[in-house]
Amino acid sequence: MAQTYGYARVSCADQNADRQLVALRDFGVQEGNVLLDKISGKNFERPAYRRLLKKLKPGDTLVIKSIDRLGRDYGEILEQWRVITRERQAAVVVIDIPLLDTRRKERDLTGTFIADLVLQILSYVAQTEREFIRQRQAEGIAAAKARGVKFGRPPKERPTAFDEVRKAWERREISAREAGRRLQIDCMTFLAWVEH
C-alpha cells in the first residue's frame, strides 16, 4: 500500500519547525510518517532525509512545505528530485507551489515540462539566495572590521608574572604545562603569548 511521507527541515536545533509540521499535518500526512532534520540544507547528508530515501517505495508520495526545505544547492535539489521521482518512482508534492505536484497522472508532456522548468528556476533561486546571504555577510564583516569592530573575545590580560615565567621556560627550567599552571592559564595560551 502506498504511503505518504512528510519531510521538514530547519537549519539548527533552536529553530522552530512548527509551521512546516502544521502544513504537513493539514495536508494529511500522518504524524508517524513525518521526518524532521535540524541541520543545514547545504547538502543532503542528513540523517532523517537518508532514512526517508530508504523508506520511499514506488507509488509513495513525499510532501514538503517549500522547495528550500529540500535543499539549497541547485544541482543537488535537481539530483534529489530525479532520485525521488525516477529511481524511487515516488511522487513529490511541494505544498507552497501547486505546479510542483508529480502525483497527477493526467500530466501531459507540456505539464511535465512546466513542472521541470519551475523546479529548475526555484532551485536556482534557492542557491542564488544562499550565495547572496554569504556575500552580504562577508561584506558586513569587512565593513565592521574597517570601522574597527573587533570580533571574538577580548584578549586575556597577561599576568604580571608572565615575563618571569617565560624566562624560566626559555631557560628550560619549566615546561609549558608548568608555565601555564603557574600563570593559571592553559599551556596553549602560554605558548601563543610567547609567539606574539
pLDDT tens digit string along 19-45? 999 999 999 999 999 999 988 766 677
The CATH number that applies at residue 56 is 3.40.50.1390
pLDDT tens digit string along 154-194? 877 888 999 999 999 999 999 999 999 999 998 888 998 88
Residue with cell 530525479: 82
**Residue 192 backbone dihedrals phi, psi, to 5 degrees:** -65, -40
Choose among 20, 93, 9: nearest CA to 43.
Answer: 9
pLDDT of residue 108: 59
> Are residues 105 and 173 located together in one domain of the fold?
no
User: Would you say the pTM of this structure is higher than 0.85?
Assistant: no
pLDDT of residue 99: 78
pLDDT of residue 110: 61
> Are residues 12 and 109 located together in one domain of the fold?
yes
For residue 96, is it within any domain?
yes
Contact indicator for 123, 74 with CB cutoff of 8 Å: yes
pLDDT of residue 106: 52
> Are residues 98 and 168 located together in one domain of the fold?
no
For residue 190, is it within any domain?
yes
> Are residues 38 and 105 located together in one domain of the fold?
yes
For residue 123, is it within any domain?
yes
> Are residues 178 and 100 located together in one domain of the fold?
no
Provide mean pLDDT across the span 98-110: 69
| Total number of domains constituting the chain | 2
**Order of strands across the sheet that contains 61-64:** 34-38, 4-10, 61-64, 91-94
Three-state secondary-structure class, residue 36? strand
Average pLDDT, the chain: 86
For residue 143, is it within any domain?
no
Q: What whole-number distance in Å separates Cα of residue 193 and Cα of residue 107? A: 69
> Are residues 19 and 106 located together in one domain of the fold?
yes
Provide mean pLDDT across the span 68-88: 82
Among 11, 40, 123, 175, which one carries the catalytic annotation? 11
For residue 141, is it within any domain?
no
Domain that holds residue 29: 4-132
Q: Is-catalytic flag, 11?
A: yes
Confidence category of residue 105, pLDDT binned at 50, 70, 90:
low
